[in-house]
Amino acid sequence: GENVEQHPSTLSVQEGDSAVIKCTYSDSASNYFPWYKQELGKGPQLIIDIRSNVGEKKDQRIAVTLNKTAKHFSLHITETQPEDSAVYFCAARSYSGAGSYQLTFGKGTKLSVIP
């Protein structure tokens, strides 16, 4: 099955600096890579995603890049703000048989933005 590695597990940045979180995946057939943000006491929420036919996608201060050859993708947050503090999860979707797809998540990165 798919295996997703995520680094770093914790990240502290000064407010206004950039943050980068990296993930690698093992299944070359995976074709969809979402990023989720989880605030304390809540469920994860999708913040951005990218499909395998696209190399980069941006949405205001966040961007995701995908390198299919190397099988890695990254989340970039610019001009970080205290409200960006949360746990971020990457995921990869692979085919699991019988017409079904499954998301495999990384273990998460706890981002702390220091005012």
Judged by CB under 8 A, does residue 84 bind other proteins?
Answer: no
* Cα within 13 Å of Cα(10), Cβ side: 2
The residue from 35, 73, 88, 89 that contacts other proteins (CB under 8 A) is 89
Dihedral angle over CA of 45, 46, 47, 51, nearest 10: 170
Among 29, 46, 54, 114, binds other proteins (CB under 8 A): 46
Q: Is 115 in the site for other proteins (CB under 8 A)?
A: no
By CB under 8 A, is residue 37 in contact with other proteins?
Answer: no
Question: Closest separation between CB of residue 28 and other proteins, Å?
Answer: 18
CB of 78 to other proteins, least distance (A): 24
Sheet holding 19-25, edge to edge: 4-7, 19-25, 72-77, 62-67, 56-59
Name the minimum Å distance from CB 2 to other proteins: 10
Q: b/e map of 59-81 (b: 16 or more CB within 10 Å)?
A: eeebbbbbeeeeebbbbbbeebe
Positions in the binding site for other proteins (CB under 8 A)? 1, 6, 32, 34, 36, 41-46, 49, 89, 93, 98, 100-108
